[in-house]
Structure 1
C-alpha cells in the first residue's frame, strides 16, 4: 500500500513538472498546484484526506508561505525544543517606552556622529534622573562625560557616604583638567586643573545673613567666611603719638638766613605715646617698625611778645627724617613770605619709614628786626597705617 502511495506521489510530481515547467507539487493532491507556485508541499491527515496545510514558494516573488493551521496576522514562526515550528504571537518583552526593566549587562550605544535628543512639550517639564537606593557608605549616583584622557563626573553621595564631601553631598569633578561655570558670554567662575586656583570673572554676591554695607568678608581659623565690620587695628600696632599742644611757654628761636628751617621743635609732654617712641624733650619720634606712616606738624609764628614786635619776612615749617645723619631727608615743607607779626603754618605727609628712622618738625624764620623769633601752640602727631 505504501509503495503504491509513493508511486502515485512521484507520478504526480512528474506529471505536474511536465505540464507546468518549474512547478513542483509534493504530498497530498499531487496533481493540483497553485498557478503562482513554484513549489508546494501539501500535508494529508490520513490516507488521501487533505488538511489544506501547505508549504508554498511563490514563483514570481520567491515569498515563502507556511500554512499549518496556526498562521495569523502579526505572528512569528517559532520552534520548540525539538525544532518543530509553528506560528505564534511574539512573547511580550520589556519595552523601554512602556515598562520598567533590568539591564542584564553593560550596554554601549555608538552614536556614530548622530545626536540623541529627549524632548517634551508638557507643562510640567521632562525629568531624567539616576537613582541609587543603596545606603552603603560607598554608594553614590553618578553621571559622566569622558574624552581621550579622562572624565568629568557629576555625582551625589548616599546618606552615609563619608568620601567626596560627606553624606548627601553633590560634587562636580573633572579628572581631565579644569572646570568653568559660565553664563552667556565669558562671565563666570573658573577652577584651574591641578592647582585648584579659582578665578571669578563677574560681580560677586555672598548673602549668608551677615552681609551689610561697609563690611568685609573675613575667615575664621577654619577658613569659614562671614561678613563683619572692619576692625580698627590695635592702638599698640599703629604706634600713635601726639605732642601736647599748649600756648605756653613760647619757644624763642634764632632767626635763620632766608627763613630756612634749622631748629627742631621740642614739646612739654605727649598726650598719646602708645609705644613710647616719641620723646617730647627732643621732639623726635622713632619708628618702631617699618611701614607707612601719616605725619602732621603745625605751629604759630608769633612775635607779639618779642621786643619791637618785628614782622616775619619769611617763615618755614618742615618735617624731616634723620636730621643730622647722612640719611637725612626732607619729607614735607611749608614756606611763607607774609611780612606779618603772626603766621600759622602746617605740614603733613605719608611716608615709608624703616624701623629706627626718626622724625622731627623743624622751623626757621627771617624777621624785620632783631635776631630772634618765637613759636607757640605747636603740635606734632603721627601713626602707622600699613606695613
Structure 2
C-alpha cells in the first residue's frame, strides 16, 4: 500500500510538471523544445530586498536595495576551473533614497564599455543595473549590460540635471568667407529649466556638474528674411561643440545643408561622455551671398545626464 502511494505521488508530480526531451533539448509544458531549455509558461527566480552593504550570494538573482543610507553590494569572486559561473546574471534596483554602488570582488573589474574596466558602478535612486559574468579569472570579470532609469528621463530635482534653454530672438552671426567661421548661439530670453545653473545664458554652454554620459539636442532656424536684400545662403551648418573656444575645437556632431535659399531649419543631437566642468554648446556657420552676416532665430537647446 505504501509503495502504491509513493508511485501515485510521483506520477502526479510528473504529470503536473510535464517535462519533455527531444534531440538533447529539454522542454517544460512543450513536447517540441526548440532550445536547450524551453519553458512554455512563466519563470520565477529569487527576489531579495537588502538595506545594508554586503556580498551578492550565488543564489541571488534580483536584489532591491531599499535604504536611506549609501551602500555597496559586492559581486562574487571569480572561480577557477570547476564551478566557474560564466554567463551568470544579476539584476539590481535602487529602490531607496541613497546611493548604491555595485563592486567587483578584490582587484577584479567591471567592463562598462568605456575602455578600461572600473571597480564599481554607481546605481542612483530609481535606477536599474544588469550584470553578467564573463567567466574570466582576472581583469574585467563582469560586464555591465544595462544601466537605466525607471523614468524616461531623470527628474530635474535629482543629481542628474535636465536643463533646457530657448529663444525667439534673432542673433547676428558672422558669415564665412573661405574657412568656416563657427559662432556659438546664445539665448538672451533666458531658460525654461536650469537645474543647478549648469546653463550659461550668455553663451548657451552646458557645463557638466560631474563626470558621466550626457544627452544633448539642439535646433535653430537660419533666416535671412530681415537681412537687407534677403540674401541666399550658400550653405548652413549647425554643430554641437565640446569645449568651444578651447583649442582645438571638438565637433561632436554637425548638420550640413548646401544652397538652402533664405530660410532653413537644422537640428543636431548626440550622446557624449564629459568630465566634470567640460562644456557642450550649439554653434553655427554659414556662407551668404552678398552679406557679411546672417541670422538665426527660434533656437533651443537641452542637455541632461543619463549615466555615470
Which residue of the partner structure matches residue 122 of structure 1? 4
- Corresponding residue to 1:251 among 166, 171, 183: 171
Contact between 1:320 and 1:362, CA under 8 Å: does it hold in 2? yes
Q: Report the Cα distance in structure 2 between the residues aligned to 1:263 and 1:320, rounded to whole angstroms.
A: 10
Cα displacement string for residues 189-223 of structure 1 (whole angstroms, at most 9, x for unaligned residues): xxxxxxxxxxxx99852498xxxxxxx86243499
Structure 1 or 2: larger strand share? Answer: 2
Contact between 1:297 and 1:379, CA under 8 Å: does it hold in 2? yes
Identify unmatched segments of 5+ residues in structure 2: 10-19, 27-36, 48-61, 74-91, 96-125, 127-148
The alpha-carbon deviation at position 124 of structure 1 amounts to: 5.5
SS at the partner of 1:306? coil
Which has the bigger relative contact order, CA under 8 A and spacing at least 6?
Answer: 2
- Aligned residue pair count: 193
Which residue of the partner structure matches residue 295 of structure 1? 216
Cα displacement string for residues 133-161 of structure 1 (whole angstroms, at most 9, x for unaligned residues): xxxxxxxxxxxxxxxxxxxxxxxxxxxxx
Q: Report the Cα distance in structure 2 between the residues aligned to 1:314 and 1:226, rounded to whole angstroms.
A: 49
Cα displacement string for residues 143-182 of structure 1 (whole angstroms, at most 9, x for unaligned residues): xxxxxxxxxxxxxxxxxxxxxxxxxxxxxxxxxxxxxxxx
- Corresponding residue to 1:218 among 64, 68, 88: 64
Contact between 2:174 and 2:181, CA under 8 Å: does it hold in 1? no
Cα displacement string for residues 286-329 of structure 1 (whole angstroms, at most 9, x for unaligned residues): 10101110011111000111100001111111011112223631
Q: Report the Cα distance in structure 2 between the residues aligned to 1:227 and 1:339, rounded to whole angstroms.
A: 49
- Corresponding residue to 1:205 among 41, 44, 60: 44
**Runs ≥4 in structure 1, deviation > 6 angstroms?**
183-187, 225-230
- Corresponding residue to 1:240 among 162, 169, 186: 162
Q: Report the Cα distance in structure 2 between the residues aligned to 1:290 and 1:357, rounded to whole angstroms.
A: 9
- Aligned in 2, Cα 1:346/1:259: closer, same or farther, shift over 3 Å? farther
Equivalent residues in 2 for 1:86-101 (5 A)? Answer: none
1:262 and 2:262 are equivalent in the alignment: no
- Aligned in 2, Cα 1:237/1:320: closer, same or farther, shift over 3 Å? same
SS at the partner of 1:292? strand
Identify unmatched segments of 5+ residues in structure 1: 1-118, 128-182, 188-200, 209-215
Cα displacement string for residues 56-88 of structure 1 (whole angstroms, at most 9, x for unaligned residues): xxxxxxxxxxxxxxxxxxxxxxxxxxxxxxxxx
TM-score, normalization by structure 1: 0.44
Q: Report the Cα distance in structure 2 between the residues aligned to 1:202 and 1:258, rounded to whole angstroms.
A: 65
TM-score, normalization by structure 2: 0.54
- Aligned in 2, Cα 1:202/1:260: closer, same or farther, shift over 3 Å? farther
- Aligned in 2, Cα 1:294/1:254: closer, same or farther, shift over 3 Å? same
SS at the partner of 1:338? strand
Give 1 or 2 for the bigger CA radius of gyration. 1
Which residue of the partner structure matches residue 361 of structure 1? 282
